[in-house]
Amino acid sequence: MSSQAFGKSLRLLNASDFQAVFDDPPFRASHKHFLILARHNNLSHSRMGLVIAKKNIRLAVNRNLIKRLIRESFRTEQQNLVGFDAIVLARRGMDGLENADLSAQLGKQWQRIARKASKDTKAES
């Protein structure tokens, strides 16, 4: 497995992992079609979880496509997000975006999270 893969160790797998991020997310990046919540995880790598509700994205084909696009975006940005747990929540209308637009917006939001985190660590030191 390459260092750019999205293996099991890079995923939030159980309810307690998700709950830790939902309870106290110091970093948020909001967009009209999705929300990213993130927090430090004290690990040497980042992990990500997805919340893609059937209520917001009706068709399974679209939900699966969105999940693949989000995972790919995270995979390409993970070197900038070391030591984070992040959750991406889909909002209504996310399936209406073109793939390129969704990828570009996700990239921007990952960069926002990274910038906020770097400001936070500078403020602590």
pLDDT tens column, 63-113? 999 999 999 999 999 888 889 999 999 999 999 999 999 999 999 999 999
At the top level of CATH, the class of 8-124 is: alpha beta
Which pLDDT tens digit goes with each residue over 37-73?
Answer: 999 998 999 999 999 999 999 999 999 999 999 999 9
Task: Please give the mean pLDDT across all residues of the chain.
Answer: 91
Report the alpha-carbon distance of residue 96 to residue 65 in Å, rounded.
12
Reading the block at residue 1, the tokens are: 């497995």
- pTM (2 d.p.): 0.90
- Per-residue pLDDT at 92: 95
